[in-house]
């Protein structure tokens, strides 16, 4: 299936009990653009740790303006440091966002990391008892940038500064793939997708 088919299936089967998780990275530039074409009233949620990059906050505003959406916020502010990044507060915020949902949409791509290499377009999230849609699972970096360019989509300017993957300011450095995430730690995945 292509991105439109996966999202259309998610909407047909689960809307309005469908949540798209948005972190304002290049993947979400493409996903939000496509999702609002199919379901303008779709529920889009972000987790605000209180330590997002200023560029991420600006991208958030650009998404709301460009796509005509109000991004729902789940608060995960706290004493954030690189040592406790993506801990319980962030996972609890996700769990709150998913209350009452049957399914969620993510920007996971197989190319991103070995921990995501086996991801499927549609999976059942056993841990949460929800369907999980990964419409970009087969997309490459090149595919994302082509779509962003073709449709002149807003995207996080940190991508232009060497950040392939963008999380919170205390624990994200420039790097290819996901190597800039949780820099100088052995961590390879956030608590949201394990």
**What letters, b where the CB count within 10 A reaches 16 and e where it falls short, cover 113-144?**
beebeebebbbeeeeeebbbbbbbbebeeeeb
190 given a catalytic annotation: yes
Report angle CA 156, 45, 141 to the nearest 5 degrees. 35
Which secondary-structure segment (H or E) carries 145?
Answer: helix 141-151
**Calpha distance 71→125 (Å, rounded):** 23
Which residues are part of the catalytic machinery? 190
């Amino acid at each position: 299936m292509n991105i439109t088919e996966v999202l259309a299936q998610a909407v047909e089967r689960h809307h309005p009990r469908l949540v798209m998780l948005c972190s304002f990275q290049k993947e979400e530039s493409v996903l939000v653009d496509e999702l609002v074409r199919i379901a303008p009233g779709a529920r889009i949620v972000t987790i605000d740790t209180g330590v997002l990059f200023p560029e991420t906050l600006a991208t958030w505003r650009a998404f709301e303006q460009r796509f005509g959406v109000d991004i729902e916020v789940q608060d995960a502010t706290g004493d954030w440091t690189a040592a406790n990044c993506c801990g319980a507060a962030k996972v609890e915020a996700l769990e709150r966002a998913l209350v009452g949902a049957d399914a969620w949409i993510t920007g996971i791509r197989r190319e991103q990391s070995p921990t995501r290499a086996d991801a499927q377009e549609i999976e059942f999230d056993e841990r949460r008892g929800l369907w999980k849609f990964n419409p970009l699972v087969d997309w490459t970096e090149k595919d994302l940038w082509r779509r962003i360019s073709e449709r002149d989509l807003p995207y996080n300017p940190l991508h232009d500064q060497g950040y392939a993957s963008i999380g919170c300011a205390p624990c994200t450095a420039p790097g290819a793939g996901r190597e800039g995430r949780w820099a100088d730690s052995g961590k390879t995945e956030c608590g949201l997708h394990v």
